Structure 1
Amino acid sequence: MSERAVPFHCAYCGDTNLWPHEAQHGAWECRDCQRIFSVKMIGQLRPEGVVR
């Protein structure tokens, strides 16, 4: 996930009550399920059958 992207739902409970977690850059806290998480983009998949 880039620094500009923002998660819209909690990765655990699916709620939208998310806030940036101040103690760690790139982390988000869900104030409904009381979890802190971060999301990392690893890469993109190529469509099957496409050779580059």
Structure 2
Amino acid sequence: MSAKPIYHCPFCAEEDLRPVEEPRGAWACGSCVRVFSVTLHRTDLAEAGPVTREEQR
């Protein structure tokens, strides 16, 4: 599975990002020179509350 695009650096909020090979799925920020990865572990539906029909669209 390939890494999904990240649009903003979580540290400086800049958009100057590029994927890096190592570690797998990581991104490099050209503005603050940090290398980071973002991982979604799960969606906690119990905490989300009920979903309305409009939200399902």
Q: TM-score, normalised to structure 1's length?
A: 0.76
Aligned residue number for residue 9 of structure 1: 8
Higher percent of residues as helix: 2
Give the structure, 1 or 2, with the largest relative contact order (CA under 8 Å, sep 6 or more).
1
Unaligned ranges ≥5, structure 2:
52-57
- Are positions 1:34 and 2:33 aligned together? yes
Higher percent of residues as strand: 1
Alpha-carbon contact 2:3-2:25 (below 8 Å) kept:
no
- Structure 1 residue ranges, 4+ long, deviating more than 2 angstroms after superposition: 47-50
Root mean square deviation, CA, Å? 2.0
Unaligned ranges ≥5, structure 1:
none
Max Rg structure: 2
Figure out how many residues of one structure are paired with residues of the other and give that number.
49
Q: Tell me the percent identity.
A: 33
